């Protein structure tokens, strides 16, 4: 399994079919080595901020991109986005919404909360695969995050 | 013999008495005549003075100016002229009045208004253009006054306008009475009276000898016909015996005074008149006795003695006559006027002279002639007949004809003016009574003469002389020329003489000069220009002066200013024209006749009347012209009378016009005199008085109408007389007359009413309205009042006025109907007021209790009740109290909660119960004895009077208003008032209840709306979450199907055969189609829910952009696209864009099979809408499916033919509908389609 420090993509998706299709598309570009898949919002938040009750609001992990579905069990995607972007340390983590909803209110609200990108999942397999793989390539390989956050491993995460 | 002697004696006695009476009568007759003459003369003098004043232009003009503007003219000059008149005739006062009769000036500074009789005389004088005398009247301070009215006019002639009048007031005591009161002979009882008729009595105008303070006070009723004064006013004339005002036997002479309402009564006590006779009668009796004795003494001696006795008797008679003679003499001698009794002396038929037989003292005093009796006039006044021949003619005429004459004359022989009255006492004799008026006449004459002298002087002063050369230029000019023309000698020298002559006169002047130069004398009239530019007329006489060579060297001119004469000529011409115009336009006939009654002039009105021409009439008399001989003769006789008497005569006669029409003609003929006073004919004015007659008839008709009106009028008219007691207090009144309406109204016949006293007529001792009536009768102030007669049960309006003092007339009108109407009106107003108050205030009431309270208050106030209640029948059939007045609660003597309990569910019984049971009002003014009474509960205030009025809804009584204890009994009126309040209350109650129901219903509806809204909101939310679920959850499996099919194709395709791969492809395709369907459906759903964000939309740009996008979607297509300029619209840009996209993409799609595809977009505004239109030449559609076009998932083509989900046009329709527009399409299969949509025009 990958070390948490090397995590580049956090996939938050409750639907295993979509998750499989997404990961398959990413794998074709070899982007799944440092991918963590969580199935609900609560897990996503715990992944980034640590367990609940951690009041210091420190960012435990800093993936290169968070692929976030909106409709999630426990804590929905919008809330996850809100918490990440509301935290000064975490808000620089790129978050990309990857959802079936093309409802205008969802799109507007996401951007207001500071989303980095909003992608409607295409129904067509080809289009879907194409979109996700491009997305992964862009954020993991092309996009340049700020240095001091970038590859600096969190001290507390070491075993 | 004895018998004969006795008979003769008796006859003698009687005839002697008659003789004596005649003698006395003659004396009286003479005195009366003298007095009459003096009074008439006095009156004429007054009028003469008036005429003089009237013709004085100086005074008239001054008065005119002063009256029109008192500031412009000093009143001093007018006053001084009036004062002169006063001085001459001793007027008590002289007044100046204006045309309205207002006193403007008075010598005595009196300002009180003139009495009506004087005002009437003023207006009459102004109307008739001649002075007038008023009757005697009692002025201030009981001074008897006689006024002379002098009317003043702006100008003589037709254009004269009245200015005002001067009123000369004579104090009769000073002026008139002395003429009457002096008695020419010494007498103990004789006196003269001036009387006139006054109603049914004779009124004494002057002071009496035997009684004090009588003028205007003493009246003797006309019934006493034995009183001479009464006889006089009743028209008797001459000598009469009777009893005078003292009841003493008197002998009197009665004479009417001409042109006045007065009568003269000259009288003396019979006892005095016959005193001489008594002595003689004694003698006669003695004589008869002597005769009888003588008869017995023997015939022979008897004859002798009888004869002697006869002579003696004659002697006695002669003595008696001498007494009378003495009487005469004293009479004549004491007269104020001159008197002469004369006999004419004739030479054959021709009068030669007259001889003075008797003259009085005044004769000598007035004329200055002495010892004339027995001498001829020509001896007394030498040369009298040479100088005054007319006088002899006049006296001769009177002595011959016996027609008295009266005139004013100037006797050249005596240099005196006389006012003369001549009459004939016996054939060949005449008497003149005269007054010398020289002083007055001299004053007039002097004025005329001075004027004449001045004129002559002036005439002579204006002559001027000039010596001119042969060219007419002056060498010498007399000073008078400069004086007259104003030029200076210098100016005359410097300038041409010719420049001073009038251009129009030049021909005659030139001609005259030619004549002069030929040596002839000329006289011409021409004009000279004065220095001030005016022109003077001169009569210029020119004489040529010859030089030594025998030629004319100079011209000598005598010129005289004749401007005044020229003006007079002009004025005369104008005057003639004026007279002509007056006569021409007069409606009256005006004619002039000569001494032989031949017409000399007739005006057009006269020609019209006779129907003859002027030529036919002139020179002919009535006798020749008028076919009606009787009319002609009468007219000629009148002509003769007028010309011989020299008096104006007025006749009224009916004539027959040529057409047969009858007319009344009032003709006045006046003698025409030449300047010497000779009668040369007459002037006549004839007026058609038919009109006046008709007016008199109309007046009679009018009077008759009034009488009829009086009889037929519905108002009761009655005339009454106040009856007073001994102290003069009004105690009763008597009916003098009443009209039929009186009888109709009272049932009292006229016979019974007239003469009856009010106290008798209207019930024992009752005298209605005595005080008011007595006041009206006493003061003359009218009154009117309304009253109600219990007996007749009628209202009357009575107007009272007083036709004369002590009487009053009532005009009574039955106004019962009006009164009743007024009463009804007042009641109606109270009802309306009650209803109004209830209805007005009811609107503010929120509860039934409040409303009931209000209504009860109104009912209570309107009826004056002490307390009241409003009860309503409840569902259980008992009654609940809705309201109880505060006084009701206050009066209640039980605990209120307990009382309130009692007021619920009361059984319907007792007095008020009938109100509900019968639905009728109940009035119980004595509830204690009412049969239905059940008593009141303990603590209930005492019930004195009660009224219950039902509250009725339709026919049903739903409750009642109860009122109690009004101060007086309840009546129908109260009931009506409360009934109206009750109906208003029921009305208001229904309204209130309706309002309450309405409010409840509204509240219910509000709740329903809120519920529905909430439900709708919930549904919307659910729908939203449903769409969300659909968009999210339906797509996930699709994606899985598509995704895993894709994986299968990618990773395991080689393991599948062709059929397997085809099936896999189908799965992928269908999944994709499913995804498209879901997307479209979501889109459609969103279009319905999303709020519109309206902005300006540039439709042309939008359509162009959308088309371009569509073309990108269809690469390789060749299309002709035409876009006309489109009107801009308002709407949600994104949605409108969707509309364009769907329609244009359709057009692109369905033209695909066409080799030359065309799309045209147009748009225009029409009737408040913007219409947009997209036309293509594509495959089109069958119009029978046009309805299906806009349904969701409705398609007209196979998926394989044209792709699509069938949502596009449904979406278009939804968006357009949401914008308030319409959408439709027109097409024919294979011939293209046109899609239309509209949007509302922009609101400005």
pLDDT tens string A91-148 = 889 999 998 877 788 899 999 999 999 998 887 888 888 899 898 888 888 888 776 5
* B908 vs A19 pLDDT, higher one: A19
Q: What is the structure's pLDDT at B352?
A: 86
The per-residue pLDDT for B956 is: 84
- Has residue B316 got a pLDDT over 80? no
In tens, the pLDDT along A21-60 reads: 889 888 888 888 888 999 888 889 888 888 765 555 678 8
In A, minimum Cα distance to B1078 occurs at A123
Interface of B with A (CB under 8 A): 1027-1028, 1031-1033, 1035-1040, 1042-1047, 1068, 1071-1072, 1074-1075, 1079, 1082, 1086, 1090
Quick one: which of B694, B593, B585, B690 has its CA closest to B636? Answer: B593
Q: Residue A150: what pLDDT?
A: 45
Q: Which residue has the higher pLDDT, B345 or B698?
A: B345
Q: Residue B451 pLDDT more than 60? A: no
| Secondary structure element (H or E) that encloses residue B46, with its range | helix B2-55
Q: Give dist(CA B1173, CA B1237) in Å, integer.
A: 7
What letter does residue B804 receive in the DSSP assignment? S
In this predicted structure, what is the pLDDT of residue B74? 67
Pairwise CB contact (< 8 Å): A123 & B1074? yes
Q: Flag whether residue A124 sits within 8 Å of chain B, measured between CB atoms.
A: yes
Nearest residue of A to residue B1024 by CA position?
A: A103
When pLDDT is cut at 50, 70 and 90, the band that residue B1171 belongs to is: very high
**Residues of chain A found within 8 Å of residue B1035, distances taken between Cβ atoms:** 100, 121, 123
Q: Which of B184-198, B235-249, B286-300 has the highest mean pLDDT?
A: B235-249
What local confidence, expressed as pLDDT, does residue B294 receive?
Answer: 59
B870: Cβ–Cβ under 8 A, 6 or more apart, which residues? B852, B855, B856, B881, B882, B883, B884, B951, B959, B960, B961, B962, B985
Residue B517: pLDDT above 80? yes
- What is the pLDDT at residue B454? 44
What pLDDT is attached to residue A53? Answer: 57
Q: Which of B1043, B1075, B1086 is facing A21, going by the closest CB pair?
A: B1043
Asked if the C-beta of A32 comes within 8 angstroms of chain B's C-beta atoms, the answer is no
Give the mean pLDDT of B490-496: 79
3-state secondary structure B394-438: HHHHHHHHCCCEEEEEEECCCCEEEEEEEECCCCCEEEEEEEECH
Condensed to tens digits (0 to 9), the pLDDT of residues B399-435 reads 888 888 888 888 888 888 888 888 888 888 888 888 8
Please tell me the least confidently modeled range out of B126-130, B277-281, B658-662. B277-281
pLDDT score for B765: 65
Q: Is A18 on the interface with B (CB under 8 A)?
A: yes
Instruction: Read off the pLDDT of each residue in B604-610 and give the average, rounded to a whole number.
Output: 83
Judge whether residue B1124 has pLDDT over 80.
yes
Judge contact between B949 and B978, C-beta under 8 A. Answer: yes
CA distance B1238 to B781: 93
Per-residue pLDDT for B1238 more than 90?
yes
Quick check: B1038 and A123 CB within 8 A? yes
Q: What is the pLDDT of residue A113?
A: 93
Binning pLDDT at 50, 70 and 90, where does residue B299 land?
A: low
Confidence of residue B1237 (pLDDT cuts 50, 70, 90): very high
Banded model confidence at residue B445, pLDDT cuts 50, 70, 90? low
Q: Are the C-beta atoms of residues B888 and B869 closer than 8 Å to each other?
A: yes
In whole angstroms, give the CA distance from residue B298 to residue A5: 226
| Closest residue to B1046, CB basis, from A17, A99, A126 | A126
Q: Give the minimum alpha-carbon distance from B1012 to chain A in angstroms, rounded to a whole number.
A: 26
- Choice among A32-41, B673-682, B697-706 with the minimum mean pLDDT: B697-706
Confidence grade of residue B1127 (pLDDT, cut at 50, 70, 90):
very high
Out of A102, A104, A123, the one facing B1039 most closely (by C-beta) is: A123
Binned at pLDDT 50, 70 and 90, residue A158 comes out as very low
Q: Looking at residue A153, what is its pLDDT?
A: 42
- Structural domain spans, chain A: 4-142
Interface test with A, best of B1029, B1032, B1093 (most A CBs within 10 A): B1032
Q: Residue B1175's pLDDT is what?
A: 93
Mutation choice for B interface testing from A122, A125, A133 by most B CBs within 10 A: A125
Contact (CB<8Å) B1042/A125: yes
Nearest CB to B1040: which of A17, A101, A126? Answer: A17
Query: For residue B1136, what pLDDT band results from cuts at 50, 70 and 90?
Result: very high
Q: List B1160's β-bridge partners, or say none.
A: B1122, B1175
C-alpha torsion B501→B506→B509→B512, nearest 10: 170
- Residue B297's pLDDT band (boundaries 50, 70, 90)? low
The span from the first CA to the last CA of chain A, in angstroms, equals: 14
The residue of chain B nearest to residue A17, with distances taken between CA atoms, is B1040
Query: What pLDDT is attached to residue B658?
Result: 65
Q: Say yes or no for a CB contact (<8 Å) between A103 and B1072.
A: no
Contact indicator for B810, B799 with CB cutoff of 8 Å: yes
Alpha-carbon dihedral angle through residues B320, B322, B328, B329, given to the nearest 10 degrees: -150
Nearest to B1042 among A101, A104, A123 (CB): A123
* CB-based contact B1068 A100, cutoff 8 Å: no
Interface contact A18-B1039, CB threshold 8 A = yes
- Minimum CA–CA partner of A125 in chain B: B1043
In terms of CA atoms, which chain B residue is nearest residue A69? B1032
- Check residue B1219 and give left, alpha or beta (phi > 0: left; psi -120 to 50: alpha): alpha
Which residues, 6 or more positions from B694, have their beta carbon under 8 angstroms from its beta carbon?
none
d(CA B964, CA B968): 11
| Interface probe, candidates A28, A100, A129, chain B, greatest B C-beta count within 10 A | A100
Separate counts of helices (H) and strands (E) for chain A: 5, 5
Does B1079 sit within 8 Å of A125, measured CB to CB? no
**C-alpha–C-alpha distance, residues B891 and B910, integer Å:** 20
Interface A-B: count of C-beta contacts within 8 A: 71
CA separation for the pair B433, B37 (Å, rounded): 7
Q: Order of strands across the sheet with B338-347?
A: B350-359, B338-347, B429-436, B416-423, B405-411
Kindly report which listed range (B276-285, B575-584, B845-854, B1125-1134) carries the lowest average pLDDT score: B276-285
Min Cα–Cα distance to chain B from A69, Å? 10
Instruction: Report the share of chain B in percent with pLDDT over 90.
Output: 4
Pick the residue from chain B with its C-alpha nearest to A14: B1036
Beta strand extents in B975-1069 (DSSP E only): none
Tell me the pLDDT band of B1176, cut-offs 50, 70 and 90: very high
Confidence at B1098, pLDDT banded by 50, 70, 90: very high
> Which range, B412-426, B679-693, B1171-1185, has the best average confidence (pLDDT)?
B1171-1185
A-chain residues within 8 Å CB-CB of B1074?
A: 123
Q: Determine contact: A15 vs chain B, CB below 8 A.
A: yes
**Cross-chain Cβ contact B1046/A15 below 8 Å:** no
Tokens for B1066, please give them. 């189908």
Q: Which of B897, B896, B880 is nearest to B888 (CA)?
A: B896
Interface test with A, best of B1036, B1042, B1043 (most A CBs within 10 A): B1043
A101 and B CB contact within 8 Å: yes
Q: What is the mean pLDDT of chain B?
A: 81
pLDDT confidence of A1, banded at 50, 70, 90? Answer: very low
pLDDT at A73: 82
Q: Which residues on chain A are in Cβ contact (under 8 Å) with B1037?
A: 17
Mutate to test the interface with A, among B1024, B1029, B1035, B1067 (most CBs of A within 10 A): B1035
- Average pLDDT of the segment spanning B1089-1110: 87
Residue B447 has pLDDT above 90, yes or no: no
Please state which of the four CATH numbers 3.20.20.60, 3.40.50.2300, 3.50.50.60, 3.40.630.70 is assigned to the domain occupying A4-142: 3.40.50.2300
pLDDT at B1162 exceeding the cut of 90: yes
**Which residues in A lie closer than 8 A to residue B1031 (C-beta atoms)?**
100-103
CB contact under 8 A, A123 and B1027: no
* Per-residue CA distances from B568 to B484, B535, B563, B572 (Å): 19, 16, 9, 6
B1040 and A18 within 8 Å at the Cβ level: the answer is yes
Q: Which residue has the higher pLDDT, B328 or B487?
A: B487
pLDDT for B848 beyond 90: no
Cα B561 from Cα B563, distance rounded (Å): 6
Locate A116 and state its tokens. Answer: 């980095």
* CA distance, residue A83 to nearest chain B CA (Å): 23
Calpha distance B868→B981 (Å, rounded): 13
């Amino acid at each position: 399994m990958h070390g948490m420090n090397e995590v580049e993509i956090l996939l938050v998706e409750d639907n295993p079919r979509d998750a499989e299709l997404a990961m398959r598309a990413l794998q074709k570009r070899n982007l799944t080595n440092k991918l963590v898949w969580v199935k609900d919002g609560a897990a996503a938040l715990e992944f980034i901020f640590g367990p609940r009750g951690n009041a210091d609001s420190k960012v435990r992990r800093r993936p290169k991109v968070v692929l976030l579905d909106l409709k999630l069990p426990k804590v929905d995607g919008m809330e996850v986005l809100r918490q990440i972007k509301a935290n000064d340390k975490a808000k620089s983590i790129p978050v990309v919404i990857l959802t079936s909803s093309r409802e205008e209110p969802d799109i507007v609200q996401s951007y207001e909360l500071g989303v980095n990108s909003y992608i409607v999942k295409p129904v067509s397999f080809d289009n879907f695969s194409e979109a996700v793989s491009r997305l992964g390539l862009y954020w993991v390989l092309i996009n340049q995050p700020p240095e001091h956050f970038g590859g600096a491993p969190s001290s507390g995460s070491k075993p | 013999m004895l018998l004969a002697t006795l008979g003769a004696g008796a006859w003698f006695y009687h005839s002697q008495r008659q003789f004596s009476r005649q003698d006395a009568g003659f004396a009286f007759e003479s005195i009366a005549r003298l007095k009459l003459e003096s009074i008439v003369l006095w009156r004429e003098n007054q009028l003469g003075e008036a005429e003089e004043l009237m013709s004085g232009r100086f005074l008239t003009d001054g008065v005119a100016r002063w009256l029109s503007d008192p500031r412009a003219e000093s009143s001093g000059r007018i006053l001084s002229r009036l004062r002169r008149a006063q001085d001459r005739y001793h007027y008590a006062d002289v007044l100046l009045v204006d045309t309205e009769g207002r006193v403007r000036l008075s010598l005595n500074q009196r300002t009180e208004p003139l009495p009506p009789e004087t005002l009437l005389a003023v207006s009459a004088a102004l109307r008739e253009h001649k002075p007038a005398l008023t009757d005697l009247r009692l002025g201030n301070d009981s001074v008897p006054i006689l006024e002379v009215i002098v009317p003043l006019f702006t100008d003589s002639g037709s254009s004269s306008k009245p200015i005002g009048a001067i009123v000369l007031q004579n104090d009769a005591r000073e002026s008139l009475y002395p003429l009457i009161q002096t008695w020419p002979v010494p007498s103990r009882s004789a006196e003269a009276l001036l009387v006139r008729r006054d109603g049914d009595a004779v009124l004494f105008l002057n002071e009496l000898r035997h009684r004090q303070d009588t003028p205007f006070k003493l009246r003797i009723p006309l019934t006493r016909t034995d009183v001479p004064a009464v006889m006089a006013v009743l028209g008797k004339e001459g000598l009469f015996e009777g009893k005078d005002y003292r009841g003493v036997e008197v002998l009197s002479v009665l004479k009417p005074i001409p042109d006045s309402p007065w009568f003269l009564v000259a009288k003396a006590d019979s006892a005095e008149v016959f005193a001489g006779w008594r002595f003689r009668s004694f003698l006669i009796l003695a004589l008869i006795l002597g005769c009888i004795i003588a008869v017995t003494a023997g015939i022979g001696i008897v004859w002798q003695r009888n004869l002697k006795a006869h002579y003696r008797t004659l002697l006695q008679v002669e003595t008696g006559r001498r007494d009378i003679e003495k009487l005469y003499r004293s009479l004549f001698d004491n007269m104020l006027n001159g008197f002469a009794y004369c006999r004419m002396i004739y030479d054959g038929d021709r009068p030669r002279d007259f001889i003075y037989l008797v003259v009085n003292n005044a004769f000598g005093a007035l004329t200055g002639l002495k010892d004339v009796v027995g001498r001829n006039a020509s001896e007394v006044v030498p040369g009298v007949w040479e100088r005054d021949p007319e006088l002899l003619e006049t006296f001769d005429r009177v002595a011959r004809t016996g027609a008295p004459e009266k005139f004013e004359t100037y006797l050249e022989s005596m240099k005196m003016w006389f006012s003369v009255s001549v009459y004939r006492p016996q054939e060949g004799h005449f008497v003149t009574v005269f007054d010398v008026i020289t002083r007055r006449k001299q004053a007039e004459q002097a004025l005329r003469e001075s004027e004449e002298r001045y004129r002559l002087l002036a005439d002579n002063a204006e002559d001027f002389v000039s010596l001119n050369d042969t060219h007419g230029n002056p060498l010498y000019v007399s000073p008078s020329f400069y004086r007259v023309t104003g030029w200076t000698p210098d100016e005359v020298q410097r300038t041409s003489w010719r420049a001073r002559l009038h251009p129009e006169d030049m021909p005659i002047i030139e001609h005259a000069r030619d004549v002069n130069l030929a040596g002839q004398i000329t006289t011409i009239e021409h004009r000279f220009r004065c220095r001030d530019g005016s022109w003077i007329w001169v009569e210029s006489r020119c004489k040529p002066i010859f030089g030594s060579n025998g030629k004319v060297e100079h011209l000598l001119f005598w010129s005289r200013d004749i401007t005044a004469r020229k003006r007079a000529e002009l004025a005369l011409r104008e005057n003639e024209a004026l007279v002509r115009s007056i006569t021409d336009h007069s409606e009256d006939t005006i004619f002039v006749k000569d001494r032989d009654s031949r017409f000399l002039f007739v005006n057009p009105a006269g020609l019209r009347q006779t129907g003859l021409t002027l030529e036919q009439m002139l020179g002919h008399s009535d006798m020749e012209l008028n076919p009606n001989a009787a009319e002609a003769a009468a007219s000629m006789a009148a002509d003769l009378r007028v010309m011989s008497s020299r008096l104006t005569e007025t006749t009224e006669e009916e004539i027959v016009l040529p057409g047969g029409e009858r007319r009344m003609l009032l003709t006045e003929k006046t003698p025409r005199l030449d300047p010497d006073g000779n009668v040369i004919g007459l002037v006549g004015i004839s007026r058609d008085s038919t009109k006046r007659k008709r007016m008199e008839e109309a007046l009679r008709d009018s009077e008759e109408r009034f009488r009829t009106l009086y009889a037929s009028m519905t108002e009761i008219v009655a005339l009454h007389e106040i009856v007073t007691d001994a102290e003069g207090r009004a105690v009763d009144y008597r009916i003098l007359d009443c009209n039929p309406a009186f009888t109709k109204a009272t049932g009292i016949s006229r016979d019974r009413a007239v003469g009856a006293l009010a106290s008798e007529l209207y019930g024992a001792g009752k005298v209605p309205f005595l005080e008011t009536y007595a006041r009206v009768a006493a003061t003359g102030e009218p009154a009117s009042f309304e009253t109600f007669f219990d007996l007749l049960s009628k209202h009357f309006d009575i107007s009272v006025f007083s036709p004369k003092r002590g009487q009053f007339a009532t005009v009574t009108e039955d106004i019962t109907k009006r009164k009743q109407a007024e009463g009804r009106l007042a009641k109606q107003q109270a009802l309306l007021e009650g209803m109004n108050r209830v209805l007005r205030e009811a609107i503010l009431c929120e509860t039934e209790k409040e409303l009931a309270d209000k209504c009860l208050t109104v009912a209570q106030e309107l009826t004056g009740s002490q307390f009241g209640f409003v009860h309503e029948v409840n569902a259980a059939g008992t009654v609940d109290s809705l309201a109880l007045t505060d006084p009701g609660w206050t009066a209640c003597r039980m605990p209120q909660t307990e009382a309130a309990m009692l007021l619920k569910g009361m059984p319907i019984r007792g007095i008020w119960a009938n109100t509900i049971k019968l639905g009728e009002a109940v009035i119980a003014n004595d509830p204690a004895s009412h049969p239905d009474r059940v008593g009141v509960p303990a603590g209930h205030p005492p019930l004195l009077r009660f009224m219950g009025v039902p509250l009725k809804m339709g026919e049903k009584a739903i409750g009642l208003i109860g009122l109690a204890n009004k101060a007086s009994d309840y009546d129908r009126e109260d009931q009506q008032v409360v009934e109206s309040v009750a109906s208003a209350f029921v009305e208001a109650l229904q309204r209130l209840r309706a309002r309450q129901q309405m409010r409840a219903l509204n509240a219910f509806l509000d709740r329903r709306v809120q519920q529905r809204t909430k439900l709708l909101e919930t549904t919307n939310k659910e729908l939203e979450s449903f769409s969300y679920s659909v968009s999210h959850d339906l797509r996930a499996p699709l994606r899985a199907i598509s995704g895993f099919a894709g994986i299968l194709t990618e990773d395991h395709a080689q393991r599948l055969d062709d059929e397997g791969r085809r099936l896999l492809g189908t799965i992928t395709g269908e999944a994709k189609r499913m995804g498209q369907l879901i997307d479209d459906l979501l889109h459609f759903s969103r279009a319905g829910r999303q709020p519109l964000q309206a902005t300006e939309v540039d439709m042309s740009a939008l359509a162009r952009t959308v088309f371009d996008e569509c073309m990108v979607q269809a690469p390789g297509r060749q299309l002709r696209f035409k876009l006309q300029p489109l009107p801009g619209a308002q709407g949600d840009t994104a949605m409108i864009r969707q509309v364009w996209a769907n329609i244009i993409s359709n057009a692109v799609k369905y033209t695909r099979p066409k080799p030359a595809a065309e799309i045209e977009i147009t748009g225009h505004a029409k009737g408040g809408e913007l219409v947009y239109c997209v036309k293509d030449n594509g495959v089109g559609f069958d119009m029978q499916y046009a309805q299906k076009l806009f349904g969701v998932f409705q398609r007209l083509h196979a998926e394989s033919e044209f792709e699509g989900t069938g949502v596009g046009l449904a979406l278009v329709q939804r968006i357009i509908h949401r914008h308030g527009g319409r959408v439709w399409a027109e097409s024919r299969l294979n011939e293209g389609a046109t899609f239309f949509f509209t949007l509302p025009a922009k609101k400005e």
